[in-house]
Amino acid sequence: MSFRISCIAAAVAVALAGFASDAAAAVIFQDDFTRSEHIARDVGNGWSELEKSSNDVSVLSNKLLLRDVLEGDGPDAAASSMVIDATGYENISVEFRWRAQSQNGIADDLFLSWALDPAPAMDDLNAWTHVFQENGSGSSFHVTNVGISGAENALFNIMLWTISNTKDQGYQIDYVTVTGDEIPPVPLPAGLPLLAGGLAAFGLLRRKRKQA
């Protein structure tokens, strides 16, 4: 009996080997904010902007600048991406580099939020899911990688934004990259011959045992 069970297990394992495949990580969206010329008041590349004051959001020196000039609640400066198509992908994550605009003093809070498409209004913060909040100062860039649970196999937007704790503060953003694992298709027709071969081998062994 144990020999028969071992043969069945081997046949099933051979069949399942045909169904399984490794998911490959892929870049879904990427922006290093390299532009042909300085762009004031316009992020470009499909991004949307929300500004409380003139020139709060811009791309200069190949970096996204989010600058606060007013103290208070709500996003003073925000940039929302174009629609990111994660259809066919899972395990979505966003990686970006950031540092405070001012090298000294208390920095504003920097947020990363996301929402399924169609994107809500950028100042409707209750409609966005907030996955990152941090503040910091210094000259070095920080590297942050955040998982986006719920955006699998869907269309969604990301938004980077600030709330002012101190007047005339803000952040520089560099290299925003969205990655995901490809959802592997189930190769059912390719696995059927393996299953049939395993069952045939089991039947042959069974007949030999009866003849013995």
7-59 pLDDT tens trace: 444 444 444 444 444 545 899 999 999 986 656 667 888 899 988 777 788 88
- Per-residue pLDDT, 146: 97
Minimal CA–CA distance to 34: which of 60, 15, 14, 7? 60
Could you say which DSSP state residue 39 is in? B
Percent of the chain predicted with pLDDT > 90: 41
Say if CB 56 and CB 73 are below 8 A apart.
no
Percentage of residues in the chain with pLDDT exceeding 70?
66
pLDDT band at 114; cut points 50, 70, 90:
very high
Distances (CA, A) of 85 to 160, 180, 189: 18, 11, 29
- Topology (CATH level 3) of domain 22-183: Jelly Rolls (2.60.120)
The alpha carbon torsion through 63, 66, 68, 73 (nearest 10 deg) reads -160
**What DSSP line would sit under 126-143, residue for residue?**
GGSEEEEEE---SSSPEE
